[in-house]
């Protein structure tokens, strides 16, 4: 009996020792929590309170309180941004290939057609036009200004001879205009990357470069590159260990250890972040401010709109290139026959110039859209009322698709993407009609009779095109 009692006593002592060790471990590992929750009330945090209450910094200080769900939401948001950037960047990189289609205008085949037209048809048409003017002078039918006719003949010959040079120089102008207009966002890596480069604020980089006072105006917000963007963990939190390193670069980083908490006087004062118990087992659950600050849904909207705009823009540019090919060949025919008034020659020159401007202003419109989105996401517009900001996003996308009325009014160039949308819609409509006709033919071949009862929708592609024309 005594032996049993002795064993029970030893077990009690062992349990007491284990409980004591666990208690000591909890005190050691959670000492920072106790300090944050009790003793911080007596700290003098006046300077930290002023820093956190500064309206300039507050939009860039997003807290993480160790909540797994909020961390997952941020991770998901960045995953969407990274995915949309990959898609948009891939589409954007196809535009140079689209611009290379300008080579068709100067291709050997088109040059042969042009030379044949000049050597045969153009000369004959010019002779016939001169004979017609002479006939009108002899018969007295109509008024003919000999001085004007002489000038028009000289201009027609000059335009016919200079057409190849004019086309070649115009193509270089259009390419240069497009490339230069896409770099006004201060990013040599494209419009899509500018949304990331200027839309993401890295607090660690701001601290290192001491840009706190100009955080709303600076364009040097992070050290991200296109190469390291996909590999960078953009959900990083500025914990105490991280801030210890940042403080060596700039003492102002100490302010990032604190958050605003309401005290007993209903005043918000700076108090050190308090970690939950689970944070003792994982640094990923420690509280702090997110290192990378960004308007994730705003950037996602911008990238999505750009991806769609680049697709439509490709349709517009390719259409302009094909129209320019027609104008190069048919333009000389107009020059040869328009020696009496010269009005149609002016129309040809105007149309050729509009082809070049259409291509160039496509890049300008995309860049202006990106600059406005960047202003809303990270510039002085970051503190704009959410309702107004939502309206601003809608208007920006609307102007991007519809096109600037100012460019249309001043230059007579429609840089809207409605035409590209109409062509894409028509292509899908034609594909749908062919698919339905093919299905009906297959059904007839089977003898099921379904093909006779089902009729393809008439003018499906035309209907889509008309609807696209009414857009905007």
What is the average pLDDT across 253-264?
Answer: 88
Q: What are phi and psi of 261, to 5 degrees?
A: -130, 140
Do both 361 and 432 map to the same domain?
A: no
> Domain total for the chain?
3
Q: Which of 174-183, 193-202, 210-219, 382-391 has the lowest mean pLDDT?
A: 382-391
Q: What pLDDT is recorded for position 84? A: 95
- pLDDT category, 450, cuts 50, 70, 90? very low
Residue at 332 is within a domain: yes
Do both 178 and 151 map to the same domain?
A: yes
Q: Which of 105-119, 358-372, 440-454 has the lowest mean pLDDT?
A: 440-454
Do both 100 and 86 map to the same domain?
A: no
- pLDDT category, 47, cuts 50, 70, 90? confident
Do both 234 and 270 map to the same domain?
A: yes
**Are 303 and 92 in contact, with CB atoms under 8 Å apart?**
no
Q: What pLDDT is recorded for position 463? A: 45
Residue at 193 is within a domain: no
Q: What pLDDT is recorded for position 224? A: 92
Residue at 254 is within a domain: yes
The SS3 call for residue 225 is coil
Q: Please give the Cα distance from 375 to 372 (Å, whole number).
A: 5
Provide the token pair at 392.
Answer: 């601003």
Residue at 48 is within a domain: yes
Q: What pLDDT is recorded for position 152? A: 81
Full residue range of the structural domain in which residue 155 is found = 95-188+298-385
Do both 311 and 173 map to the same domain?
A: yes
Residue at 310 is within a domain: yes
Q: Which of 17-26, 218-227, 252-261 has the lowest mean pLDDT?
A: 17-26
- pLDDT 10s digits, 286-337: 888 999 999 898 899 999 999 988 998 898 899 999 999 999 989 988 988 8
Do both 365 and 288 map to the same domain?
A: no
Residue at 316 is within a domain: yes
Do both 290 and 306 map to the same domain?
A: no
Residue at 396 is within a domain: no
For the chain, the first-to-last Cα distance in angstroms comes to 96
Among candidate residues 132, 192, 172, the one with its CA nearest the CA of residue 340: 132
Do both 319 and 342 map to the same domain?
A: yes
- pLDDT category, 11, cuts 50, 70, 90? low
Q: What pLDDT is recorded for position 458? A: 44
Q: What pLDDT is recorded for position 169? A: 93
What is the average pLDDT across 331-352?
Answer: 87
Q: What are phi and psi of 218, to 5 degrees?
A: -65, 150
Residue at 328 is within a domain: yes
Does the structure show a pLDDT above 70 at 52?
yes
Q: What pLDDT is recorded for position 252? A: 92
Do both 209 and 278 map to the same domain?
A: yes
Do both 464 and 452 map to the same domain?
A: yes
- pLDDT 10s digits, 208-248: 999 988 888 888 899 999 889 999 999 999 988 899 999 99
SS3 content of the chain, % helix, strand, coil (to 5): 75, 5, 20
């Amino acid at each position: 009996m005594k032996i049993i009692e002795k064993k029970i006593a030893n077990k009690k002592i062992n349990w007491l020792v284990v409980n004591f060790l666990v208690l000591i471990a909890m005190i050691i590992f959670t000492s920072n929590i106790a300090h944050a929750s009790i003793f911080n009330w007596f700290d003098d945090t006046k300077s930290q309170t002023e820093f956190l209450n500064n309206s300039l910094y507050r939009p860039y200080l997003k807290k993480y309180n160790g909540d797994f769900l909020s961390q997952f939401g941020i991770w998901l948001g960045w995953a969407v941004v990274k995915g949309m950037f990959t898609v948009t960047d891939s589409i954007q990189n196809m535009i140079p290939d689209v611009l290379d289609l300008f080579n068709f205008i100067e291709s050997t085949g088109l040059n042969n057609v042009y030379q044949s037209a000049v050597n045969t048809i153009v000369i004959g048409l010019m002779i016939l036009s001169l004979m017609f003017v002479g006939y009108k002078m002899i018969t007295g039918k109509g008024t003919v200004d000999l001085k004007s006719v002489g000038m028009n003949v000289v201009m027609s010959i000059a335009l016919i001879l200079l057409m190849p040079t004019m086309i070649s120089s115009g193509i270089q102008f259009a390419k240069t205009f497009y490339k230069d207009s896409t770099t006004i966002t201060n990013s040599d890596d494209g419009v899509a990357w500018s949304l990331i480069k200027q839309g993401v604020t890295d607090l660690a980089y701001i601290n290192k470069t001491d840009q706190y006072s100009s955080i709303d105006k600076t364009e040097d917000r992070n050290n991200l590159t296109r190469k390291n963007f996909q590999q960078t963990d953009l959900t990083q939190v500025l914990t105490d260990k991280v801030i210890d390193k940042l403080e060596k670069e700039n003492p102002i980083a100490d302010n990032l250890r604190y958050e605003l908490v309401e005290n007993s006087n209903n005043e918000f004062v700076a108090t050190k972040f308090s970690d939950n118990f689970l944070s003792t087992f994982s640094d990923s659950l420690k509280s702090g401010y997110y290192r990378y600050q960004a308007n994730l849904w705003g950037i996602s909207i911008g990238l999505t709109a750009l991806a769609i705009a680049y697709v439509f823009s490709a349709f517009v540019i390719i259409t302009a290139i094909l129209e320019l090919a027609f104008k190069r060949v048919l333009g000389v025919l107009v020059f040869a026959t328009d020696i009496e008034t010269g009005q149609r020659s002016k129309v040809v020159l105007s149309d050729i110039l509009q082809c070049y401007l259409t291509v160039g202003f496509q890049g300008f419109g995309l860049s202006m859209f990106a600059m406005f989105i960047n202003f809303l996401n990270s510039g002085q517009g970051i503190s704009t009322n959410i309702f107004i900001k939502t309206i601003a996003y809608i208007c920006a996308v609307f102007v991007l698709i519809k096109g600037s009325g100012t460019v249309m009014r001043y230059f007579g160039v429609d840089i809207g993407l409605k035409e590209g949308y109409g062509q894409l819609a028509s292509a899908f409509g034609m594909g749908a009609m062919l698919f339905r006709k093919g299905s009906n033919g297959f059904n007839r071949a089977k003898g099921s009779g379904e093909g006779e009862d089902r009729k393809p929708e008439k003018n499906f592609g035309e209907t889509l095109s008309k609807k696209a024309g009414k857009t905007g």
